[in-house]
Structure 1
Amino acid sequence: MSAARRLARVLADLGPRYLPFADAATKELPLGRLLRLSLFQVTVGMAAVLLIGTLNRVMIVELDVPAWIVAVMLALPLLAAPFRALVGFRSDTHRSVLGWRRVPYLWFGTLLQFGGFAIMPFALLILSGDTTGPIVIGQVAAALAFVLVGAGLHTTQTVGLALATDLAPAHARPKVVALLCAMLLAGMMASAVVFGLALHDFSAIRLIQVIQGAALATLILNGIALWKQEPRDTSRKSVPARRFAEAWEAYAAQPQARRRLIATGLGTAGFSMQDILLEPYGGQILHLPVAATTALTALLAVGGGIGLLTAARWLNRGGDPFRVAAAGAVVGIAAFSAVVFAAPLGSGGLFACGVALIGLGGGLFAHGTLT
């Protein structure tokens, strides 16, 4: 056997062992096409960093917007979350003359996200009172911007994941979903670094440039992601319609389906409640600059990536997904304790450690519950 063939065999054995997502690609969904499709997760991660990370801190600390208004604004995108099941169902049963089910929803989700980002910086400046216009206009416009971005990212992510599972064979779907989650974290890490560097010397003009740059990047990356991904099938227009209630009843009839949903909802809520607090906490309590608090989101994503990789290896060895999720919850308790005690101890290092552990616990919990 030649040296080249031996090296190829070693690399083939090394990939699945140390890179759990290396074998997510299949003949039906090659790695290049899968990575291109995963770009929609990058834009979702970018939007999450901008909303719950950068803008959260900037609105409270730099723009002096009352914290309760910021909390309301950041909660508005979550209004679209309960409709993800309906959006996914509608894309499942969509009947189109062009033969597409997923592409129309992906495209309109992208346009919603783009439109929200386009008006957001000017709405925030009016909201902060830094202009001559009435603040109420800024409040209404900012609320509209956050709702549009929230509806767009939830629609894009839901339908994008559905399209990925359509294209991947059944045996590869868990690894494909895990890879898409990893790409979400990669997008969060990259965006946090870029936003932190761009806003190191904060100004209103720089804020406008950053948000509008995010809008343009969303349009371009999502366009590349969905280009020639879904095959056209004009026979779908003749498929009889199915009601959402019927689909829900079929799912709820599965053993322990409701119990799993409740556990997933409570755990996800626990790990998500920190979204609105960490950046202002670091800025106002620990007096960290914008770049440092934005970097916390990258640290959170790094911890989440480690959690996903750990969970993947654990499950590949025959681990119980319920134990994986429970381990994530235990890590989360320790993580939030570290964040709480960082203030009285005045320790930025303890705070950063707590943030990383939140990501680690969240990654374990998310992978366990999804599995």
Structure 2
Amino acid sequence: MTLGWFGIFRLGLVQMSLGGMVVLTTSTLNRLMVVELALPAVLAGVLVALHYAVQITRPSWGYRSDTCGNRTRWIVGGMAALALGAFSAAVGVVTMESAFWPGLVLSFLAYLLIGLGAGAGGTSLLALMATCTRPDRRAAAATITWLMMIFGIAATAGTVGALLEPYSPRLLLEIVGAVCLGGLALTVLATWRIERGLVAEAEPDAAPLMEGLREIWSEPRARSFTFFVFLSMTAYFMQELILEPYAGFVFGLTPGQSTSLSGAQNGGVFLGMLAVGIGSTGLRIGSLRSWVVAGCLGSALSLAAISLIGQMNLPLIVPAVVMMGVFNGMFAVSAIGSMMQLAGEGRHAREGTRMGLWGAAQAVAAGFGGLAGAGAADLLRLWTDIPTAFGLVFFFEAALFVISALMALRILEGGRVMPAGRLVPGE
């Protein structure tokens, strides 16, 4: 017995909860540290990079879920750690207003916990989907769960942005606490006995972790795809820590408004992912590779536009950010579809380890990209005005997206995902 559509939807609820908790730490709390507390953007970047750096342990979590025979315990345990870490991060920001060093230490520990929780819960969730979903449903399952995650991010950011006006530390803690408790409760309900009766496609692999990683790394496609994931995700995440401060400094957006801007961006991501799901699978328009390339190039153009409107002082930040979100979504879901297909290639019973390897590459790229973007913005602000400093970072990010598009043309197959879950020649 494998996962049905209702089971896939249940796992999507977990992804939705994960996205809702993480977006508070990478957008709202980041903005508060940089603008309201007047801290260097690189400090917020270090904290967010820390939670991504810890996720280099994703292959280990994937391996554990491959061999223990019960992935649900790792999903729920990881989400519990994530919820505790997210609330502790909010407490840390509030504490820094009156006691900087104690608040910083608490924030440091909180982001470590966030990284461990997201790594354990997220990797185990993907592994459960890869092993217990029929091959013809894997691409659709990836699309559904990621759409639900983006919906959770957009809904959380938009709702929190509206509720956070007027801002106060107590209100922040109340809202973050409610989001974390709600996300954890939803996770427990969504995964309750979900593995009962499910049979993975292969028996658990008891080979040592490093042996499994060496075997996967020896596969040319898996290795090349890992490099592609790292570069493209570096481009994807460079704006994550500077977009809301940019909106606050250059366009005068309040904390609630900039959080709502993040919601609008992720609403665009949702639309982009939906377009790929309908276009490539339903209408059979284009191939996974063509959608990846279109997403990368469109993201590059959007970033250039975001930079230029700051230089020209045009009040178009919202439509520009939504446009970037749409192309980001196109890129992300088509890359995820390729990942789900590649996870089942090569030696069996390594889906968790494979997803862990690519998840680690994504996490390291996210941390590196976010920190590099924040650090570059801080340094450039020493020599030039704020719009130019942020704009140069956006232009560099656009260049990385162009390079990623060229890599996708060389690495990814030009096949179209058919309803039967097979790749057939396309371009």
TM-score, with normalisation over the residues of structure 1? 0.83
Q: Does structure 1 residue 116 correspond to structure 2 residue 110? A: no
Kept after mapping to 2: 8 A contact 1:306/1:360? yes
Q: Matched residue of 2:207: which SS?
A: coil
Residue aligning to 2:261: 296
My pick for the range that moved more, 65-74 or 46-55, is: 65-74
Partner amino acid for 1:67?
Answer: A
Residue aligning to 2:422: none
Residues 256, 194 of structure 1: alpha-carbon distance in 2 compared, 3 angstrom cutoff: same
C-alpha distance in structure 1 between counterparts of 2:42 and 2:35, whole Å? 13
Q: Does structure 1 residue 81 correspond to structure 2 residue 55? A: yes
Residue aligning to 1:345: 312
Residues 240, 264 of structure 1: alpha-carbon distance in 2 compared, 3 angstrom cutoff: closer
- 5+ long unaligned stretches in structure 2: 339-427
Q: Does structure 1 residue 60 correspond to structure 2 residue 29? A: no
C-alpha distance in structure 1 between counterparts of 2:204 and 2:253, whole Å? 57
Q: Does structure 1 residue 167 correspond to structure 2 residue 156? A: no
Partner amino acid for 2:141?
Answer: V
C-alpha distance in structure 2 between counterparts of 1:76 and 1:167, whole Å? 32
Residues 329, 104 of structure 1: alpha-carbon distance in 2 compared, 3 angstrom cutoff: same
C-alpha distance in structure 2 between counterparts of 1:88 and 1:68, whole Å? 31
Residues 118, 48 of structure 1: alpha-carbon distance in 2 compared, 3 angstrom cutoff: closer
C-alpha distance in structure 2 between counterparts of 1:332 and 1:122, whole Å? 34
C-alpha distance in structure 2 between counterparts of 1:118 and 1:278, whole Å? 23
Structure 1 vs Structure 2 CA RMSD: 2.3
C-alpha distance in structure 2 between counterparts of 1:204 and 1:260, whole Å? 43
Residue aligning to 2:330: 364
C-alpha distance in structure 1 between counterparts of 2:165 and 2:314, whole Å? 22
TM-score, with normalisation over the residues of structure 2? 0.73
Kept after mapping to 2: 8 A contact 1:76/1:147? yes
Kept after mapping to 1: 8 A contact 2:61/2:124? yes
- 5+ long unaligned stretches in structure 1: 1-26, 95-99
Deviation, 1:189, is 1.3
C-alpha distance in structure 2 between counterparts of 1:271 and 1:37, whole Å? 25
C-alpha distance in structure 2 between counterparts of 1:109 and 1:172, whole Å? 26
Deviation, 1:232, is 7.1
1:328 to 291, 295, 298: 295
Residues 72, 218 of structure 1: alpha-carbon distance in 2 compared, 3 angstrom cutoff: same
Q: Does structure 1 residue 214 correspond to structure 2 residue 179? A: yes
C-alpha distance in structure 2 between counterparts of 1:368 and 1:218, whole Å? 27
Deviation, 1:289, is 1.4
With a CA cutoff of 8 Å and minimum separation of 6, indicate the structure with the bigger relative contact order.
2
C-alpha distance in structure 1 between counterparts of 2:89 and 2:332, whole Å? 30
Kept after mapping to 2: 8 A contact 1:28/1:167? yes
Kept after mapping to 1: 8 A contact 2:2/2:198? no
C-alpha distance in structure 1 between counterparts of 2:220 and 2:42, whole Å? 41
Cα distance per residue 1:142-176 (max 9 Å; x no partner): 11111211221232111112222333212111110
C-alpha distance in structure 2 between counterparts of 1:243 and 1:346, whole Å? 57
Cα distance per residue 1:204-234 (max 9 Å; x no partner): 1101111211221122111112111112799
Partner amino acid for 1:83?
Answer: T
C-alpha distance in structure 1 between counterparts of 2:92 and 2:23, whole Å? 19
2:168 to 198, 203, 217: 203
Q: How does 1:1-371 map to 2 (within 5 A)?
A: 28-94=2-68, 100-128=69-97, 130=98, 133=99, 135-231=100-196, 241-316=206-281, 317=284, 319-349=286-316, 351-370=317-336, 371=338
Deviation, 1:185, is 0.6
C-alpha distance in structure 2 between counterparts of 1:244 and 1:318, whole Å? 39
C-alpha distance in structure 1 between counterparts of 2:64 and 2:3, whole Å? 24
Cα distance per residue 1:103-147 (max 9 Å; x no partner): 22112202211221342233222222x2xx4x2221111111112
Q: Matched residue of 1:64: which SS?
A: coil
Partner amino acid for 1:125?
Answer: V
Cα distance per residue 1:255-284 (max 9 Å; x no partner): 432222211211111011111011111111
Number of residue pairs aligned between Structure 1 and Structure 2: 333
Kept after mapping to 2: 8 A contact 1:40/1:156? no
C-alpha distance in structure 2 between counterparts of 1:39 and 1:180, whole Å? 8
Deviation, 1:179, is 0.5
Residues 239, 198 of structure 1: alpha-carbon distance in 2 compared, 3 angstrom cutoff: closer
